[in-house]
């Protein structure tokens, strides 16, 4: 059978699995991994949770260690252009044929676990995580940077015992699963903290820090923070200090003084003030991992920062008119993106191509970005969970986020993108945002240029 066909059949099987399991918990994961000789115990990990920034932090951290000569696995979600983006080693995605081979290995185990009434059917994310853990173990990587899918405590990735746990930040998200308050969401994120394993956080919210500090104390896990004034036991800590110095067309320059090291004029090719915080989190992680034997010199640190590739985040794909895509998918991310837009781009009119998932807080997201737009085209990604554009349009008009004259609906994302670009003048900016799924579809269309 041709490799492309085998790969597509493997993807069809993966996507045919349910999104949520009938029984929450890690029992299915542990059962599958046990039957597969526990590949997750064969390599080292950095485990990253958070509401926003965890993917960027993971990409930056991986890039730094790659530049230093380490063999680094990176597991992230969702993918942007291809399913194989989910798992990569030193910037190279898994080969389609190898993924198909691993599905052939895992599928009988999934069927066996499904048949056991103690466990029930594994979810799609659980199976993909198992595939990634097998892949990284097979390839004998030096370190895996592992991004949490949802929450932390019950997330499929939480079967690993990492060298370092990172919680970037916490805000309200997935409230139907994680809880209705910031403290409840923080409790789920703090679930990745392990006995005696250092934990680093970039959260500034005192409510969140209190939850993380309590959990770290309970598990004797040394706590490090980019913002909190005190450490795990109440002692003063040498908190990192970082500040942005220069904004360029290509990214931004910043200084960093950390636990042990100090650097000036570091460059990162990512836009947005929040990316400086993500970079500082990665730099703090590099320092903490020195205690576990992973060393990075200044030359390679600078190289890794300057070479990081993380598309779909304030990504400029075209000039005159400008075409920018950003996967901001919750209110906090939308607010950060909106602030960064005017910092990095000058434009006459903002034309918004907007599509979100149905389980998101639509009013909060729309209120943060729609009033800034001169025109809004509501659309949707090619995924069943996409919100109905007509419903978004109705809500936007009812809440006065935009006027009827400025708003329209186009269910077809390709046509919506074409409409936005053709209606834009040379000094205008077209922004595609609201979901990584929307950006993924739009970016694939841009790879095959819109007519």
Residue 165: strand pairing partners: 47, 199
Return the pLDDT at 227: 87
Check: CB of residue 230 under 8 Å from CB of residue 237: yes
CA separation for the pair 282, 297 (Å, rounded): 14
How many Cα atoms are found within 13 Å in the side-chain-facing hemisphere of 270?
A: 30
User: Which segments of the chain have a pLDDT < 70?
Assistant: 1-3, 21-22, 174-177, 228-238, 447-451
DSSP per-residue codes, 172-227 = ---HHHH-SSHHHHHHHHGGG--TT--EEE----HHHHHHHHHHHHHTT--EEESS
Return the pLDDT at 449: 58
pLDDT in tens, 50-72: 999 999 999 999 999 999 999 99
Return the pLDDT at 249: 78
All domains of the chain in start order, with CATH: 3-306 (3.40.1190.10), 315-447 (3.90.190.20)
Strand 375-378 relative to strand 350-354: parallel, antiparallel, unpaired?
parallel
Return the pLDDT at 229: 60
């Amino acid at each position: 059978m041709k490799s492309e066909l085998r790969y597509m059949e493997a993807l069809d099987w993966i996507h045919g699995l349910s999104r949520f399991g009938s029984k929450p918990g890690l029992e299915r994961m542990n059962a599958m991994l046990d039957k597969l000789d526990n590949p997750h115990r064969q390599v080292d990990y950095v485990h990253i949770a958070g509401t926003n920034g965890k993917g960027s932090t993971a990409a930056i951290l991986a890039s730094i260690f790659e530049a230093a000569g380490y063999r680094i696995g990176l597991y992230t979600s969702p993918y942007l252009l291809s399913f194989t983006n989910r798992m990569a080693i030193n910037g190279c995605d898994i080969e389609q044929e190898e993924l198909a081979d691993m599905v052939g290995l895992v599928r009988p185990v999934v069927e066996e676990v499904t048949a056991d009434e103690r466990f029930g059917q594994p979810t799609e994310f659980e199976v993909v995580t198992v595939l990634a853990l097998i892949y990284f173990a097979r390839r004998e990587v030096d370190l895996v940077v592992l991004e949490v899918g949802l929450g932390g405590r019950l997330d499929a990735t939480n079967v690993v015992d990492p060298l370092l746990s990172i919680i970037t930040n916490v805000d309200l998200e997935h409230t139907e699963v994680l809880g209705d308050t910031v403290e409840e969401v923080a409790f789920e994120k703090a679930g990745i903290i392990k006995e005696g394993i250092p934990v680093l956080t970039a959260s500034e919210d005192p409510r969140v820090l209190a939850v993380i500090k309590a959990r770290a104390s309970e598990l004797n896990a040394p706590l490090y923070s980019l913002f909190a004034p005190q450490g795990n036991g109440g002692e003063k800590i040498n908190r990192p200090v970082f500040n942005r110095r220069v904004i360029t067309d290509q990214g931004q320059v910043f200084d960093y003084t950390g636990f042990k090291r100090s650097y000036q004029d570091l460059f990162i090719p990512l836009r947005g003030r929040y990316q400086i915080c993500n970079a500082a989190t990665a730099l703090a992680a590099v320092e903490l991992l020195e205690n576990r034997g992973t060393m990075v010199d200044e030359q390679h640190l600078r190289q890794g920062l300057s070479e990081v590739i993380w598309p779909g985040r304030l990504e400029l794909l075209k000039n005159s008119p400008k075409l920018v895509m950003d996967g901001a998918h919750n209110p906090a991310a939308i607010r950060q993106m909106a602030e960064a837009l005017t910092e990095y781009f000058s434009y006459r009119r903002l034309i918004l191509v907007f599509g979100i998932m149905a389980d998101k807080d639509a009013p909060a997201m729309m209120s943060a970005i729609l009033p800034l737009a001169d025109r809004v085209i509501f659309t949707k990604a090619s995924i069943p969970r996409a919100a109905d554009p007509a419903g978004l349009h109705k809500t936007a008009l009812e809440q006065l986020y935009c006027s009827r004259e400025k708003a329209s609906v186009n269910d077809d994302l390709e046509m919506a993108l074409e409409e936005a670009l053709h209606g834009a003048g040379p000094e205008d900016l077209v922004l595609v945002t609201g979901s990584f799924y929307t950006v993924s579809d739009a970016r694939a269309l841009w790879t095959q240029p819109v007519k």
